[in-house]
Structure 1
């Protein structure tokens, strides 16, 4: 009898959780009438976090949309958007950059902000890069043995860029993230990361539409790392509990966020 009771209690606890066996994931949905883009694309929170950094650094540097697409396609091919601690010979990080080839020290290359900055800096040194296809532009920077592979990832890279640059409102969601307090509960942790990646600490209040959605999407993509409970922009709110954007108020162009455990 006690064993049966314990089993019932266990089932109640497990079933009371939100999708206890679900895998955390992020999904990007293409805007209507978007030829050449996949309808949806799904990636892990780790990949989403990396993509947000790459796009965020691109915004800070004032890079054109095309550069962000090239950078994302390159990182997908080189590392699967994972900050790898190894690779071919001495290759490291998101872009598999090599210390022996002058990309920086091991510690520098394993810093995604540094690695993304280094990639963009090399890309803009390529004459005519903006008029090249993804494969040609990426190859001039990377010198890969498989240059044709970069083009395979252009559709999903472009979809990620569209969302992270604020051109597709509420297109990026992350669901089934662990609703646990952030590892760094500091009140400045989110602003510090934004300053490093985006070049701004202002993540609240009124924002122009495209900027507001770019910041809101960047926050959701970093949601697991930052321990976010909710992000609101222009009357729509994403929550870690729902994993979706829902209408919650008037379209007022205001951005707000809350971290798990905050009042």
Structure 2
């Protein structure tokens, strides 16, 4: 049998090396997709345009909960929707809307803020509520930020080495801001499957509402606002006044922009965005209803919702938990 030539041997080695590299690249790509999407079969969230122009953005429950916090902190501070859009685009670029504990040098959290640059302690920066608040504090000091291009406004806060990178996230951030500030009604949905270790129940929902919106969210309509509706029959159907239901009344004058209806949709979308983390099974508002499920959840018309019932339901957001 003839000996293989040196050329064919080298060619064989190159082919084997090339195949190995291709396999490694394919594996790396797969793992990257799994990281970005939350893994195969992971529950998803989706926001669509309120203009029926086909625009949409899909993301994970973790990203949805962080986006909802960023938006709520902004509106609670009286910041306009444009400020929320800037904040969301910044977090999309800096962390992918994930509260990560690492980054360039000592950068941390949703906005990759640095303790060494005076943004706060590591513990503070890794608190999404704190991180969002301090971002808005800096943004509010930028003269005319709402009229500036998004990249310019974000850069004056972040001092990034890649300022133009914020621009590509503006369309998605705009969709998210419209939904999470309540301007675009019934445009945000999640599948709503709970996390592996959900922290649910009415008390957890109330605590999260106060964390993101402040104590006024429980005081908008008097002492009973945000209270859990008790029932002698804990197994009652969701939304029928059982012990798993949190009712948050809505009234005029609760938003920096828009009407009470917008405030209601802000709270309703916040609840849907937190459905996995807080084990929320159903959200009802203004004659519309969202229910958690393994298929794509949507906002549907509430059963038997007439004009009178719709008017009443617009005065409160009902959140039903699974615990």
- TM bucket (normalised to shorter chain) is 0.7 to 0.9
TM-score normalised over the length of structure 2: 0.70
How far apart, CA to CA, are the structure 2 residues paired with 1:194 and 1:230?
16
Match of 2:92 in 1: 76
How far apart, CA to CA, are the structure 2 residues paired with 1:179 and 1:126?
38
Q: How does 1:173-188 map to 2 (within 5 A)?
A: 173-175=189-191, 177-178=193-194, 182-185=198-201, 187-188=202-203
The structure 1 residue matched to 2:180, chosen from 160, 164, 169, is 164
How far apart, CA to CA, are the structure 2 residues paired with 1:41 and 1:213?
18
How far apart, CA to CA, are the structure 2 residues paired with 1:93 and 1:181?
22
Q: Tell me how many residue pairs correspond in the alignment.
A: 237
TM-score normalised over the length of structure 1: 0.85
The structure 2 residue matched to 1:211, chosen from 238, 263, 269, is 263
How far apart, CA to CA, are the structure 1 residues paired with 2:168 and 2:206?
35
How far apart, CA to CA, are the structure 2 residues paired with 1:44 and 1:156?
14
What SS does the corresponding residue of 2:189 show, helix, strand or coil? strand
How far apart, CA to CA, are the structure 2 residues paired with 1:115 and 1:190?
21
What SS does the corresponding residue of 1:100 show, helix, strand or coil? helix
Match of 1:246 in 2: 300
- CA shift digits 1:93-118 (9 cap, x unpaired): 00000000000000000000000000
Deviation at 1:188, TM superposition (A): 2.2
- CA shift digits 1:131-188 (9 cap, x unpaired): 2111000000000000001011101001000000111111000015238884243x32
Residues 70 and 137, structure 1, Cα contact 8 Å, conserved in 2: yes
What SS does the corresponding residue of 2:84 show, helix, strand or coil? helix
Q: How does 1:25-36 map to 2 (within 5 A)?
A: 25-32=44-51
Q: CA separation of 1:122/1:236 partners in 2, compared to 1, >3 Å: closer, same or farther?
A: same
What SS does the corresponding residue of 1:238 show, helix, strand or coil? strand
1:124 equivalent to 2:124? Answer no
1:260 equivalent to 2:309? Answer no
Residues 182 and 260, structure 1, Cα contact 8 Å, conserved in 2: no
How far apart, CA to CA, are the structure 2 residues paired with 1:67 and 1:179?
30
